[in-house]
Amino acid sequence: MKRLLIVTLSIGFLLSCGSSRKELPRLGPMTVNGSDTAFYTLPDFEFLDQDSQIVSRESLAGKIYVADFFFTSCPTICPKMTKEMDRAYLRFKGNEQVHFVSHTIDTRHDSIPVLRKYAEKIDVMDARQWHFVWGPRKEIYDMAKAYFQVAYPDSMAPGGFVHSGQFALVDGEGYIRGFYNGTDPQDIDKMMGDIELLLSE
């Protein structure tokens, strides 16, 4: 087994050295069974967006998308995250291969109409590309864990919730290909470059 892993890593290294083309990693735990390696993929999910349309792993199959977790009344990092997500959305607006999925963690307050008003407030009138999604609380929190994100209620936290400010980049096969600081413009510039890289694959 050890010899097999060394050989596999060596081949991967040689391939990367033999090509100037960058390739994004597949992130998350790997399962090695003999000569087979299975990369981590996101579990199935199904939520409703601001237009009450179903957003699921199936509906996003074959699409590149960026996922984050927020809530509409967030007084701290969410406005910065939304600003950076909006920059990426505008960059790829009209490209049906690129989507954005923002999951609310305040499932009691952020109903579908509230998410719709929030989308309108930031001038996202077309839900076909940027989905503000709602789902049962447990399912949303389980999904945050699937993205390796922190999200939980905390009465001592500003706004009543603690959550990560990361964006996750997912490819058309459900592999996570990158994590980015959603409040850092330079990191989001890198994310947009990585989206272009995935589009060229």
pLDDT, one tens digit per residue, over 149-198 is 999 889 998 899 999 999 999 999 999 999 999 999 999 999 999 999 99
pLDDT, one tens digit per residue, over 11-70 is 333 333 444 458 999 999 988 887 788 999 999 999 999 999 999 999 999 999 999 999
Which tokens sit at 159? 């706004």
pTM comes to 0.87
Which tokens sit at 195? 């989206």
pLDDT, one tens digit per residue, over 155-167 is 998 899 999 999 9
Q: Are 68 and 81 in contact (CB under 8 A)?
A: yes
Cα distance between residue 96 and residue 80, in whole Å: 25
Closest CA to 77 of 190, 197, 182: 182
- Class (C level, CATH) for 46-199: alpha beta
Phi and psi (nearest 5°) for 132? Answer: -95, 110
Domain spans of the chain? 2-38, 46-199
Cα distance between residue 151 and residue 66, in whole Å: 17
Q: Are 32 and 8 in contact (CB under 8 A)?
A: no
- In the chain, the amino acid numbered 2 is K
Pairing mode, if any, of strands 161-163 and 166-170? unpaired
